[in-house]
Copies of this chain bind each other. A is one copy, B any other.
Amino acid sequence: MIKNVFETVVLDELEKMLIRQAGSIVHYPKGHTIFAAGDFADRVYLIESGWVKIYRLSTDGRRVTVGSIRSPGELMGLAETLWGGERTCFAGAINNVSLVVLRKNKFEELMATHPFLAIKIAKLLGARMREAEGIIHEMVSWQAPGRLALTLLKIGERCGVETKGGIRIGLPLTHEELANMVGTSRQTVTSLLNTFKQEKSITYEGREIKIVNPDKLAKWII
C-alpha cells in the first residue's frame, strides 16, 4: 500500500560543494525564525544540520504547515527565490540549525555555469511539486484520521530514528503543530493520537511519538 511515501531528489556531494563554496555558513538557534513572509526572497539555503519547518500564517493567525519539514542535505527557500518576489511563508528552526546561505545572483550564476545543477534543481522542484499535489489530493479526499496517519508516517520516514521497537520521531512536535499540518483542530489530534496509541500503532516516549506498527497506522489511510 505505502511502498514509498516519499520521493526525494537529493543533491550529491559535488553539487553541495559547489553551493558551499559559493555561499557562507550561518547558525540559528532552536526556535529562531530564519525567514519570514514579506522578506525579500533573495537567497537560498542548504541545510547542513538540524530541521526546519516551513509554514504560513492564515489571516486568523493560525499557523499552517504547508511545505512540511526540511532535513539536512535539503535546499530550502528555493521556489520563492527563483520567483524573486516576497516570501509568502516562514521558516523556523525546529532545533539548532546550521545552513549555507547563497545569494540569488550567485545561485543563478552557479546554475548558468553548471547546467547539470540547473537540471537537478528542476528535478528537485518537480519532485516537490508531485509531493505538493499529493498533499492537495489528500487534503481534499481524506478524513482527519487518514491525514494524520499519513503525516506521521511521512515525518517518520523523513526525520525519524530507527530504534528497536519502532521509529522514534525525535522532534518537539506539539499536537497543535500536527493539527496545522493536517488541517484539523488540536483536540481532534489529541484524541486521534490516543486512538492510535490504544491500537498500539504508536507509543509515547515522554512526549515524543514512536511509530511501533506502521502497517496498522497505514490502515487508517483511505
Q: CA–CA, A137 to B68, complex, Å?
A: 12
Contacts of A113 in B (CB 8 A): 115
CA distance A140 to B135 in the complex (A): 11
Q: Name the B residues within 8 Å of A136 (CB-CB).
A: 64, 66, 132, 135-136, 139
Q: Within 8 Å CB of A139, what residues of B?
A: 136, 139-140, 183
Q: How large is the interface on A (under 10, 10 to 19, 20 to 34, 35 or more residues)?
A: 35 or more
Complex formed: what's the CA distance from A9 to B84 in Å?
A: 11
Copies in the complex: 2
Contact B122 A118 (CB under 8 A): yes
Binds B, one of A54-62, A189-197, A203-211: A54-62
Known pairs A7-B85, A83-B9; A129 contacts B125 (CB<8 A): yes
Judged by a CB distance under 8 angstroms, whether A79 is at the interface is yes
**A119 on interface, CB distance cutoff 8 Å:** yes
**When A56-B137, A126-B79 are in contact, do A108 and B119 touch as well, CB less than 8 Å?**
yes
Alpha-carbon distance between A119 and B119 when the two chains are bound, in angstroms = 8
Query: Among B62, B66, B122, B132, which residue has its beta carbon within 8 angstroms of that of A111?
Result: B122
Smallest beta-carbon distance A17→chain B, Å: 19
Q: Tell whether A215 is near chain B: CB-to-CB under 8 Å.
A: no
- Per the bound structure, the CA–CA distance linking A132 and B59 in Å amounts to 18
- Cβ of A130 within 8 Å of any chain B Cβ, yes or no, is yes
Asked if A64 meets B141 with Cβ closer than 8 Å, knowing A80-B126, A82-B126, A136-B135, the reply is yes
Residue contact B133 to A66, C-beta cutoff 8 Å: yes
CB of A35 to closest CB in B, whole Å: 14
Among B80, B108, B129, B137, contact of A64 (Cβ-Cβ < 8 Å): B137
**Chain A interfacial positions (CB closer than 8 Å to B):** 7, 9, 56, 58-60, 62, 64, 66-67, 78-83, 85, 88-89, 108, 111-113, 115-116, 118-119, 121-123, 125-130, 132-137, 139-142, 180, 183, 222
